[in-house]
Structure 1
C-alpha cells in the first residue's frame, strides 16, 4: 500500500467533512430524510477515516517493527471500515424510502426483508476474526482480502436493486432532476465499487461514493427552489412535490390551510420587514404545534400544514390553537396587526383526490365579509368538487360538440319585430338536465376553456345564420358575449375572422358584447385586441350597463353599436324616482353617440310600456321570449 493509494480516501474524507458542514448548517427545515442523509455522511466519514488511519498504523508497524500492536490497530480499523461499508447501502435505501414517502405504506415484513442482507453481513463481520472470510492480516500486519469479500459487493448490488425499485415505484411524481440525481448517484457509486473490487490497489470507492452524495446534496437536499428562505419553510413548489408524493403512494393525510385575507391591505401601510417578520413568526408558531408536521407557504399570505398525525382530536387541537392565536392579532416591530383569517381543513384523498383539486382548495380565497375568522371543512368544500365536475362537463361538451347554443330574440320598437338576438351557451348534465349558466359560465371564464367555448358559440351562430337564413328572415345581427380572458388572447381577431369567413357570413351580422369592466380596461393588450376586432369588421355592444362603477367619460370613449341596460336599472327606476329620471335621461345621451339602447329583463306589460315611454330602441326579455334552441328560434322569427 503506497501513499498514493490513500490519496483518494483522504480527498473523500475532506469532501465528506465539508459536505457534512454544509448539510448541518443549512437552514432548511429538518426532515427525516435529512437526518438519514447526515447519518450517511457520518458513516462515510468514518469509513474514510478508518482507511487513512489503517494506512498509518501499517506504516508505523513497518517503521518500528511492532507487528502485534499494528495487527490489533489494523484489525479494529478494518472491522469498523467493513461495518461502515455494509451499512452504507441499507442507509441509502432507507433514505430513498423516506424521500419517496414509501415509509407510509411499508409493513414490518417489508423492513425485515430490506434489512435481512445487512444483518447477515453484520453477523459474518462480527465472526470474521475466526473465519477470516472478509479479510485477514499476516504476521507483518499486511492486509489480505478473504474469500468471502465478494459478498460485500453482492450486498451492495441487492440494495442497488432495492433503491432503483423505490425510486421508480414511489418516486413517479418526483422532479426529473431529483430522480436523475438519485439514479446517477447509485450508478456512480456502483462503478467505484466495481473498480475497487477488480483493482484492489486503486482505492476510488469512497471517493465515488462521496461524489455521489455531493450530487444528492446539490440536487435533492439543497432544494432552494422549494424553500422559502425568509419564512424558513417550504414554498408552493415544495408543497406540490409533497402532495404528489403522497398521492402516488395512496396515503390518507390531512391538510390544514389558512389565508390572511387582509394581508394586501396591511401591505399598503405596514413596512415589508414587519410583515416578513410576522410571516416568519407564524411559521415558527405553526411548527411548535408539532415539529413533525411539514409547514409550507403557498404564497405570501397562505400557509399550509401537512399533518403527520391525522387523528380527529389532533387536527381539532391544532385548528383551534391556530384560530385562537389568529384572533389575538400579531404584534411585530412595535406594530399591532389585526388578522382576518379563513381556514380550511380537508382529508386527502377523501375530500380531493388529485393535485388540481387540492391546489384549488388551498389557493382559493375563502371569505365571509365581516367575519374575522371563517372555517371550512368537509362538506363546506363540496362546492370545489362541484366546480371540478362542471369543468369536466365543459371539456366533454366541447370535445364531443354537445354544447348547445340558444338564442333569445331582441325586439325593435321601430320595426315592430325581432331584429336581433343574443347567443347563449347551454350545458347539459349527464342526466340530460340543463345546468344554470350562472354556475358554469364563471367557472369557464376562470380557465382556458372559455377560449374554446367562445369559438364554439361563434361557429354555431354562423352556422345558424347560414342554415336557417336568418338574415333573410329579418335578423340583422346576433350578439355574442366575449369574456375578458378571451381578449387577452392576441389571436382572437384572426380566429374569429376565419370562422365568420368560413361560413360566408357578413361581419355586420356578428356583434360582440363586452362588459363595463372590459370597456374600462386601459391595458395596451386589451386595447390592441379590441382595435384588431374592430378593424376586421366586428361591432360592439356594452353589456349589463348599470351593474358596475363606470367613469362615463372614459366609458363612452369607445364606439358601441348598442348599450344594453341591465335589468336591475329597470327595477330600480320603477321604485325610485331618482333612478327613474336617470334611466329616462340615458336614451338621449346614448342616441347622441349614434348608439342604440337595448333594455334587458323586460318581463311584464307594465315594464314594456315604461321602456317604450323612455324612448328605448329595443327590448330583450321573457315578455317576448325566453332563450330558445336554434331551430325553435328560427321558427319563431319566421312566424312573426
Structure 2
C-alpha cells in the first residue's frame, strides 16, 4: 500500500467530516431518516479513518521494527473497516425504508430478511482471525485478500437490489429529483465497489460512497424548498410530500389542522417580527406535545400535525391541549395577541383518500362568526367529500356533453307575451336526479370548470336560437350569467364572439348578466374584459339587485340593458313601507338611464299586481313558468 493509495480515503474522510458538520448543524427539524443519515456518515468516517490509520500504523510499526505490533494494529483496523464496510449498504437501505415510509408496512419477517445478510457477514468477519476468509497478514504485516472477500460485494449487491426495490415500490410519489438522486447514488457507489474489487490497489470505493452521500444530502436531506426556516418546521411542500408518501403505502394516520382565523387582521396592526415570533413559538409548543409528531406550516396562519400515535385518547389529548392554549391568546414582544382558531381532525384514508381532498380539508377556511374556537372532526367534514363528488360530476358532464341548459321565460307587460329568457345550467346525479344549482354553481365558480361551463351554456343558447328559431317566435334575447372568475379570463371576449358567430346569431340576442360584485369591481383587468365584450356587441344586465350591500352608485357605473331586482327586495317591499317606497321609486330612476326593470321571483297573483302597479317592465318567476328544458321552452313560446 502506497501513500497515493490512501489519498482517496483521506479525501473521503475530509469530505465525510465536512458533510457531517453541515448535516448536524442544519436547522432542519430532526426526523428518523436524518438520524439514520448521520449514522451512515459516522460509519463512513469510521471506515475511512480505519484505512488511513491502518496504513500509518503499519508504516510506524515497521519503521521501528515491531512486526507484532504492526500485525495487531492492522488486524484490528482491518476488522473494524470490514465491519463498517458491510454496514454501509444495510444502513442505506434502512434510510430508504424510513424515507419512503415503508417501515410502517413491513412486517417483522421482512426486517429479519433484510438484516440477515448483514448479521451473517458480521459473524464471519468477527471470526476472521481464525478462518482468514476475508483477509490475512503475512510476517511483515502485509495485507492480503482472502478467498471469501467476494462475499462483501455479494452483500452490497443484495442490498442494492433491496434499495432499488424500496425506491420504486414505495417512493412512487417522491419528487423526481429526489428519486434520481437516490438511484444515481446507488449506481455511483456500486461503480466504486466494482472498481475496487477488480483493481484492489485503486481504493476509490469509500470516496465514491462519500460523493453519493453528498448527492443525497444536497437533493434529499437539504430540503430547503420544503422547510420553513422562520418557523423551524416543514412547509406546505413538505406536507404534500409526506401525505403522498403515506397514501402510497396505504397507512392510516391522523391529521390535526388548525388555522388562526384572525391572523390577517393582526397583520394590519402588529409588527411582522412579532407575528413571526408567535408562529415560531406555536410550532415549538406543538412539538412539545410529542417530539415524534411531524409539524407543518401550510401558510402563515395554518398549522398541521401528522400524528405518529393515532389512538383516540392521544388525539383528544393533543387537540384539547391546543384549544386550551389558543384560548389564552399569545404574548409576544410585549404585545397581547388574541386568537380565533378553527381546528379540524380527520383520519386518512378513512375520511379522505386522495391528496386533493386532504389539501382541501387542510386549507379550507372554517369559521363561525363570533366564535373564538371552532372544532371540526371527520364526520363534520363530509361536505368536502360531497364537494369533490360534485366536481367530478361537473367534469364528467362537460366532457360527455350531458350538461343540460334550461330556460326560464321572461314576460313583458308591454308586449303581453314572453320576450326573453334566462339560461340556467342543470346537472344530473348519476341516478338521474337533478342536483340543486345552489349546490353545484358555487362549487363550479371556485374552479376553472366555470370557464368551460360558461362556454357550454352560451353554445347551447345559440343552438336553441338557431334550431328552434326563437327570434321568429318573439324571443328577443336570452340572459346568460357570467361569473366573476370568467371575467378574469382575458380571452373570454374572443371565445364568446367565435361561438355566437359560429351559429350566425345576432349579438343583440345574447345579454350577459353580471352581479353587483362584478359591477363594482374597479380592477383594470375586469374593466378591460367588460369593455371588450361590449365592443364585440354584447349587452349587460345587473343581476340580483337588492341583495347584499346594494347601493345606487352601481347603477351608474356601467350601461345596463336591464336591472334585475332580486326576489328578496319584493318580499321586503310587501312587508315594509320604506322598502315599498324605495321599490316604487326605482322604475323612474332606471328608465331615466334607458334601462328596463325585470322583477325576479314573482310567484303569486298578489305579487304580480304589485309589480304591475310599480311599473316594472318585465317579470320572471314561477307565476308564469318554472325553468324548462330547451324543447319545452320552445313549445311554450310558440303557443303564446
Q: CA deviation at 1:550?
A: 4.5
CA distance in 1, matches of 2:626, 2:368: 34
Query: Which deviates the most, 566-575 or 306-315?
Result: 566-575
Q: Which runs of 5+ in 1 are unaligned?
A: none
Once the 2 structures are TM-superposed, how far is the Cα of residue 586 of structure 1 from its aligned partner? Answer: 1.4
2:20 aligns with 20
Runs of 4+ displaced beyond 2 Å: 548-555
State how far apart, in whole Å, the 2-side matches of 1:492 and 1:406 are.
22
1:589 Cα deviation from its structure 2 partner:
1.4
1:245-298 deviation digits (Å, cap 9, x = unpaired): 000000000000001111111111111111111111110111011000000000
Q: TM-score, normalised by structure 1?
A: 0.99
Structure 2 unaligned segments of length 5 or more: list them: none
Shift of 1:378: 2.2
Q: For each residue in 1:217-272, what CA deviation from the matched residue of structure 2 results, as whole angstroms up to 9, or x when unmatched?
A: 01000000000000010000000000000000000000000011111111111111
Counterpart check, 1:360 vs 2:360 = yes
Residue number in structure 1 paired with 2:387: 387
Where do 1:12-161 residues align within 5 Å? 12-161=12-161
* Matches of 2:88 and 2:28, distance apart in 1: 24
Measured after TM superposition, the shift of residue 554 of structure 1 is 5.2
Does the 8 A contact of 1:411 with 1:420 survive in 2? yes
- Is the Cα–Cα contact under 8 Å of residues 342 and 366 in structure 1 kept in the other structure? yes
**Contact 2:50–2:80 under 8 Å retained in 1:** yes
Residue by residue over 1:99-147, the C-alpha shift from the partner in whole angstroms, topping out at 9 and shown as x without a partner, is 0000000000000110011011001101111111111111101111111
Distance 1:74 1:522 in 2: 82
What is the CA deviation profile of residues 526-553 of structure 1, one whole-angstrom value per residue up to 9, with x for unaligned ones?
Answer: 1111111111111111110111325533
CA distance in 1 between partners of 2:567 and 2:78 (Å): 90
Partner secondary structure for residue 542 of structure 1: strand
Whole-angstrom distance in 2 between the partners of 1:560 and 1:8: 81
Q: For the residues of structure 1 that align with 2:562 and 2:98, how far apart are their CA atoms?
A: 64
1:557: how far off? Answer: 2.2
Whether the 8 Å contact between 1:61 and 1:141 is mirrored in structure 2 is no
Matched-pair contact (CA < 8 Å) for 1:410–1:619: yes
Q: Is the 8 A contact 1:470 1:634 kept in 2?
A: yes
Q: Deviations over 1:54-113 (max 9, x none)?
A: 010111123111110011001000000000000000000000000000000000000011
Report what 2:594 is aligned to: 594
Preserved CA contact (<8 Å) 2:480 2:512:
yes
Aligned residues: 640
Contact 1:520/1:550 (CA < 8 Å) preserved in 2?
A: no
- The reply to whether residue 468 of structure 1 matches residue 468 of structure 2 is yes
Please tell me whether the aligned partners of residues 516 and 554 of structure 2 are also in contact (alpha carbons under 8 angstroms).
no
Distance 2:51 2:171 in 1: 35
Q: For 1:461 and 1:229, locate their aligned partners in 2 and report how far apart those are by CA, in whole Å.
A: 54
Secondary structure in 2 aligned to 1:513? strand
Q: Which residue of 1 aligns with 2:168?
A: 168
Q: State the Cα RMSD in Å.
A: 0.9
CA deviation map 1:559-584 (0-9, x unaligned): 11111111111111111121112111
Q: Please tell me whether the aligned partners of residues 86 and 118 of structure 1 are also in contact (alpha carbons under 8 angstroms).
A: yes
Asked whether the equivalents of residues 421 and 479 of structure 1 are also in contact (C-alpha less than 8 Å), the reply is: yes
Asked whether the equivalents of residues 519 and 557 of structure 2 are also in contact (C-alpha less than 8 Å), the reply is no
Q: Can you list the C-alpha shifts for 1:283-320, whole angstroms capped at 9, x where unaligned?
A: 01110110000000001000000000001111111111
- Cα shift at 1:558: 1.0
User: 1:33·1:98 contact (CA, 8 Å) conserved in 2?
Assistant: yes
- What are the superposed Cα offsets for residues 486-541 of structure 1, whole Å, 9 maximum, x if unpaired? 11111111111111111111111011111111111111111111111111111111
CA distance in 2 between partners of 1:546 and 1:67 (Å)? 103
Looking at structure 2, the residues matched to 304 and 22 of structure 1 have their Cα atoms a distance apart, in angstroms, of 28
Q: Which residue in 2 is equivalent to 1:217?
A: 217
Does 2:233 align with 1:233? Answer: yes
Q: For residues 438 and 408 of structure 2, what CA distance do their matches in structure 1 show?
A: 16
Secondary structure of 2:38's counterpart equals helix
> 2: CA distance between counterparts of 1:313 and 1:355?
26
Q: Secondary structure at the match of 1:556?
A: helix
Deviates more, 1:309-318 or 1:589-598: 589-598
Q: State the Cα distance separating 1:555 from its structure 2 match.
A: 4.7
Over residues 397-424 of structure 1, what are the superposed CA-to-partner deviations in whole Å (9 max), with x where a residue is unaligned?
Answer: 1111111110000011111110000000
